[in-house]
Amino acid sequence: MCIISNQSIYDDPDFFQAYSHMARSEGGLKAAGEWQTLQSVLPDFTGKTVLDLGCGYGWHCRYAAEHGAKAVLGIDSSQKMLDKAAEMTGDRRIQYRQMDMTAIASLPDHYDVILSSLAIHYIADYAGLVAKIWDRLNTPGRFIMSVEHPIFTAQGSEEWITDKAGKRLYWPVDRYFDESSRETDFLGHTVKKYHRTLTTYLETLLREGFQLTDVVEPQPPKAMQKDNPDMQDELRRPMMLIVSATKPATH
């Protein structure tokens, strides 16, 4: 098993090749089990400026532009991801830039909407990032994120406990209040992520001054469960957490 730093993992040819064949990579937003729920909490993008943290292939950037955003910036630390995003994008309102999301304080602009999909659990300093997001948001502004659920990340392996025949018995939860890094196998590579409790995810936003708008544990749509039996097991434990928060006009 190959161990690669998170900074470069998506630029590793073998990893990127495996990632490119995932269902959500090939099928886009509709192939993501959480998309229907995430879509329901997104704001009206009409006339808005948008920043996407860890934009990957740029799916959410293009969605925002298609729904009226006047300018969208997608940032990612992986050049391969950005090259793919640019290849799939023909809208001049969308720009892509290679940078780590922890460096957003250096951006000259402020944004009406900042969003991040399944990327913040790779960041060590969550509180520091939330402060930078607050600073980069216009007033009022909206922040929306999806992360791996604390129940999903707690034990670390992110694997079901199975019997000798391979039947899934239960999902292990351990070290829940130990907010440290976890190493997990993802597409044949060992990846470092950061586990946080639900309290930390939410209270950090509240202490910064955000008002919570939505807190949702998404379930895959019934149609997706029907087409993919593995999706039925997603009802046995939450895999993801979606949070929407507002930077109010008065603070």
- pLDDT at 203 (0 to 100): 98
* Pick among 3.40.50.150, 3.30.750.24, 3.40.50.2020, 3.90.550.10: CATH of 29-148+194-247: 3.40.50.150
- DSSP per-residue letters across 83-128: HHHHHT---TTEEEEE--GGGGGG-S--EEEEEEES-GGG-S-HHH
Q: Alpha-carbon distance 209 to 193, whole Å?
A: 26
- pLDDT at 12 (0 to 100): 74
- 113: burial class by Cβ within 10 Å (0-12, 13-18, 19+)? buried
Residue 43 φ/ψ region, left for φ over 0, alpha for ψ in the -120 to 50 degree band, beta for the rest: beta
Nearest alpha-carbon partner for 200 in 127, 91, 141: 127
Of 167 and 23, which is predicted with more confidence? 167
- pLDDT at 5 (0 to 100): 40
Q: Does residue 7 surpass a pLDDT of 90?
A: no
pLDDT above 90 as % of the chain? 76
Neighbours of 246 (CB within 10 A): 18
Of 26 and 228, which is predicted with more confidence? 228
- pLDDT at 30 (0 to 100): 82
Where in the chain are the domains? 29-148+194-247
pLDDT tier for residue 1 given thresholds of 50, 70 and 90: very low
Rounded to the nearest integer, the mean pLDDT of the chain is 90
**Predicted confidence (pLDDT) per residue in 122-164, tens digit:** 999 999 999 999 999 999 999 999 999 999 999 999 999 999 9
- pLDDT at 3 (0 to 100): 35
